[in-house]
A and B are shown apart, each in its own frame.
Chain A
């Protein structure tokens, strides 16, 4: 019981008590203005009435007067700590701020004082689901069902809660009970159909296949389940699992006939026959191939069986199948043909067969008489053949050949954007980002309304560091009233733009802006995580259970998305750099050294700020209206347009760790992620995390160059500790050091052994050079190691060469420009090793379109 003093303070005389009830009603119906007036009437007489203060605060928040409102709510809570209303209101506010943990605490408080409040219980259940507190969820759902057993969704809610909590038997029991109480189900009831499928799904997960089949058959026959495709899919899968292979095969066959391009159905069909399409063995190959041939002749319009056959077949079989497949693709002019078959290149023989088939087609086409006959091949076949071969040679790093094929194709047909786009890609790969941007622009002007071309071109400009020019292009397709093209794309959650823009800033040395964009990526993922909240209620209300049960695990793995993983690694690298060298921040953001981009950003931010201020002014002016602004805070104003706060040294590692934490479990197989985790953990003196990451990386690839540097770094850091970490960690660290690098070997020897083992790998040479730097070797030794990468027998790619060049610059080597010139000669088509002056010229040229130049060469003739 609440102390009588509080209760007495809460009780209002009958007039005010009526007014307060009216406030509640007015709020429920969102008559905010009236609600506010009525609340004020109560407060005039009882200014200390906590519940009314909270309601007034809540209403004010809805009206957009957020700060004032929250202040009142907090005051109200303090004045009446045992009222369920004040805690409910406080919980609502916290939920609006996406502070789910705190909101749940407030709801739990509220439930203490009103145990059976349906609204509060329901909201609490949603919060528990969002926070994955499934034990509590089961309890809450139980209470809800006990209070209102006649509501259908309360039964389903409990079953789902049990399911999420891993108690499948309980979930099944609840559903059985629920179904037995149903009466008078209308025909073609979608909701009932979904519940039945969900029930069958639970039985399948339990392994009760026969029971699942029985339930499926009865309800399919009675037409209680109305999704015919789902019935067949469930049936095929269950029959396979139950071991009724003949029946299952018929069902899979029927599914394939219904949709002959679903790879999933073929996988099911074959796995039912004991053939794993993804792991074909010599025992299963012949059988699989025969079936796929049969499907191909039965289903002449289906591409899937033909394509799958290419995965399965080997040798002459492969050749016989690949020929018509490739020819038909080229003849039809399928632009994605190469992307489609590229995965076959993992098999060297197949790669060679494909190349020779397409080369033969090219020779035959080239030999054709120029005088066409009705039977002759269309010229587009030749064109697509050249396009295919260019992709093939670019894939095998023969860039010169690829370029000459593309030039031949462009001479044949200069108006096919794909050719120019691919030329751009080849130029990008061989280290000419400006030429690439220019070629992409040529493709773009062929069709200005093609957003794909436009975006690609902007991306290539960003890759070339042409920040402003990229924004110009992006602005052609973004909302015109947005503060900037970038802001609109951020609103639209364009991960492509955010990651590319961040990378561009990073390459330009504007680390603050880069981090800002990476944090915008993080925000997108936070929003995607928040977005599931509404479905905890919606999916139960609308009985869309099966898709909901797919959503939850998907959300749990949300941050395994490549864009998140890449951004996390990149951002953490900047933070680590900042930690190791705090002067990076001052160099990046000192006012005198502001890059153009940063100045622009500042200007833009100022404008945006003005706009926001004007809008808030407007908003204040119109608060007297009833407009509901909801409980979510508006976009916070940007008080750090250049990201300089993100560059602050204090907390840099903590910010990095926040990025990486999800990757500990979600990117276990990504060695770069593990290495990033090590880099941050070791600097935070989290030795166990660091060791775990190193061990994981070693399992993934023991000779990975970046790992080699970390192993040395780890031993060196541990041995230079003034005292070992406290027990029990100390002995774990000690054991790990000897486990990772043999104790008797000195680090110098360890490093030279490594490079001897991988003497032809440019990456290994870079790595051993980095280690020399860590070990404090003399500059001349580092230099000679670095120049070893230029030996003709070493495979050196451009990226590695650039890293070596940067390393030489960092140690202020006098031979840095010698290295640059040598690379410029070695990578003759690339431009990244040119001098700054030459680069400026190339940069200028990136925008002159070829057509304009060609026309200038021609003399003007007025027609």
Chain B
């Protein structure tokens, strides 16, 4: 039976809506060790972040999420995109879903003109070297270490990784 051909997997993305928020909550509850506040769930539904918050589907089943928020400078400086969460369920890892999701976000950030996005940045716990390598493969660079970033997780420190968006 193992000789039978498999169908090609389909990978797709969907925007977040109040209706599929339950799926995001479910994914977050199994993917991440922390509980996200209600504010988090309100923010990812804001219309301006629609292109930067996605559900990731594998063969039409939601298996991952990526959520960012826009950080505008009140003084009128450049806008940054902060990648808050990105995760894929364990059985679906190493299949390019993470890379495709990140590329989707980078593409959306590059295409965005109102506001124009200057860079994407994120935090990675310093125990998580493989995650760091993953982001570096996609053009991110370490720019700083944020000490005591995680209050209740050990180790407490996090790298700050950043990727410039060139227009």
Q: Give the distance to chain A from B152, nearest Cβ to Cβ, in Å.
A: 5
Say which size band chain B's interface belongs to: 35 or more
Q: Given A372-B95, A415-B63, decide whether A860 and B35 contact each other with a Cβ distance below 8 A.
A: yes
B35 near A371 with CB under 8 A, answer: no
A361 near B1 with CB under 8 A, answer: yes
A382 to B95, CA, bound (A): 16
A651 within 8 A of B: no
Least CB separation from A379: chain B residue: B91
- Which residues from 1 to 44 on chain B have a C-beta closer than 8 Å to any C-beta of chain A? 1-2, 4, 6-7, 9, 17-23, 25-27, 29-30, 33-37, 40
B35 near A333 with CB under 8 A, answer: no
A381 within 8 A of B: yes
Q: Given A378-B9, A858-B35, decide whether A447 and B19 contact each other with a Cβ distance below 8 A.
A: yes
CB contacts (< 8 Å) of B153 on chain A: these are: 861
A333 near B4 with CB under 8 A, answer: no
A298 within 8 A of B: no
A415 near B27 with CB under 8 A, answer: yes
A379 to B61, CA, bound (A): 11
A791 within 8 A of B: no
Number of A-B contacts (CB under 8 A): 104
B36 near A415 with CB under 8 A, answer: no
B26 near A415 with CB under 8 A, answer: yes
A697 to B12, CA, bound (A): 57
Q: Given A380-B59, A416-B61, A448-B18, decide whether A851 and B94 contact each other with a Cβ distance below 8 A.
A: no
B6 near A446 with CB under 8 A, answer: no
A861 near B1 with CB under 8 A, answer: no
CB contacts (< 8 Å) of A863 on chain B: these are: 34, 36, 40, 84
- Select A377's contact among B6, B25, B36, beta carbons within 8 Å: B6
B121 within 8 A of A: no
B134 within 8 A of A: no
A207 to B162, CA, bound (A): 83
Say which size band chain A's interface belongs to: 35 or more
CB contacts (< 8 Å) of A858 on chain B: these are: 29, 33-35
B94 near A447 with CB under 8 A, answer: no
A854 within 8 A of B: yes
B114 within 8 A of A: no
Least CB separation from A415: chain B residue: B62
CB contacts (< 8 Å) of A372 on chain B: these are: 94-95
CB contacts (< 8 Å) of A331 on chain B: these are: 4, 6-7
- Which residues from 52 to 73 on chain B have a C-beta closer than 8 Å to any C-beta of chain A? 58-63
Least CB separation from A381: chain B residue: B6
- Which residues from 74 to 113 on chain A have a C-beta closer than 8 Å to any C-beta of chain B? none
Q: Give the distance to chain A from B38, nearest Cβ to Cβ, in Å.
A: 11
A360 within 8 A of B: yes
CB contacts (< 8 Å) of A375 on chain B: these are: 6
B91 near A412 with CB under 8 A, answer: yes
A379 to B88, CA, bound (A): 13
Q: Given A413-B89, A413-B91, A863-B40, decide whether A445 and B22 contact each other with a Cβ distance below 8 A.
A: yes
A180 within 8 A of B: no
Q: Give the distance to chain A from B128, nearest Cβ to Cβ, in Å.
A: 15
B137 within 8 A of A: no
A354 to B107, CA, bound (A): 47
A861 near B150 with CB under 8 A, answer: yes
A745 within 8 A of B: no
A378 near B22 with CB under 8 A, answer: no
A328 to B89, CA, bound (A): 24
Q: Give the distance to chain A from B17, nearest Cβ to Cβ, in Å.
A: 8
**Per DSSP, are chain B's interface residues mostly helix, strand or loop, or mixed?**
loop
A323 within 8 A of B: yes
A722 within 8 A of B: no
CB contacts (< 8 Å) of B91 on chain A: these are: 379, 382-383, 412-413
CB contacts (< 8 Å) of B61 on chain A: these are: 333, 380, 383, 413, 415-416
CB contacts (< 8 Å) of B25 on chain A: these are: 445, 851
CB contacts (< 8 Å) of A717 on chain B: these are: none
A414 near B59 with CB under 8 A, answer: no
A371 near B18 with CB under 8 A, answer: no
B22 near A327 with CB under 8 A, answer: no
- Which residues from 127 to 147 on chain B have a C-beta closer than 8 Å to any C-beta of chain A? none
Most buried by B among A360, A415, A859: A415
Q: Give the distance to chain A from B156, nearest Cβ to Cβ, in Å.
A: 11
CB contacts (< 8 Å) of B152 on chain A: these are: 859, 861
A862 within 8 A of B: yes
Q: Give the distance to chain B from A360, nearest Cβ to Cβ, in Å.
A: 7
A450-461 CB mask vs B (1 if < 8 Å, else 0) is: 000000000000
Q: Give the distance to chain A from B106, nearest Cβ to Cβ, in Å.
A: 22
Least CB separation from B58: chain A residue: A380
A413 to B4, CA, bound (A): 24
A861 near B30 with CB under 8 A, answer: no
CB contacts (< 8 Å) of B22 on chain A: these are: 444-448, 851
Q: Give the distance to chain A from B34, nearest Cβ to Cβ, in Å.
A: 4
CB contacts (< 8 Å) of B17 on chain A: these are: 449
Q: Give the distance to chain B from A247, nearest Cβ to Cβ, in Å.
A: 40
CB contacts (< 8 Å) of A841 on chain B: these are: none
Q: Give the distance to chain B from A329, nearest Cβ to Cβ, in Å.
A: 11
A331 to B36, CA, bound (A): 35
CB contacts (< 8 Å) of A448 on chain B: these are: 18-22
Q: Give the distance to chain A from B164, nearest Cβ to Cβ, in Å.
A: 24
A413 to B35, CA, bound (A): 19
Q: Give the distance to chain B from A328, nearest Cβ to Cβ, in Å.
A: 7
B34 near A323 with CB under 8 A, answer: no
B19 near A327 with CB under 8 A, answer: no
A861 to B33, CA, bound (A): 9
Least CB separation from A858: chain B residue: B35
CB contacts (< 8 Å) of A382 on chain B: these are: 91
A701 within 8 A of B: no
B151 near A861 with CB under 8 A, answer: yes
Q: Give the distance to chain A from B53, nearest Cβ to Cβ, in Å.
A: 15
Q: Give the distance to chain B from A412, nearest Cβ to Cβ, in Å.
A: 5
A375 to B23, CA, bound (A): 30
CB contacts (< 8 Å) of B40 on chain A: these are: 863
A324 to B151, CA, bound (A): 54
Q: Given A858-B34, A863-B34, decide whether A333 and B59 contact each other with a Cβ distance below 8 A.
A: yes
A332 within 8 A of B: yes
8 closest A-B pairs by CB: A445-B22, A861-B34, A449-B19, A379-B91, A448-B19, A380-B59, A415-B62, A858-B35
A-B contact pairs, 12 of them (CB 8 A): A375-B6, A379-B92, A381-B6, A382-B91, A415-B63, A448-B20, A449-B17, A851-B26, A858-B34, A858-B35, A859-B35, A863-B34
List 13 extra interface pairs beyond A378-B6, A447-B19, CB under 8 A: A323-B1, A331-B7, A372-B95, A380-B58, A413-B63, A414-B30, A448-B18, A448-B21, A851-B22, A854-B29, A855-B29, A861-B35, A861-B151
A contact set with B: CB distance below 8 Å: 323-324, 327-328, 331-333, 360-361, 364, 371-372, 375-383, 412-416, 444-449, 851, 854-855, 858-863
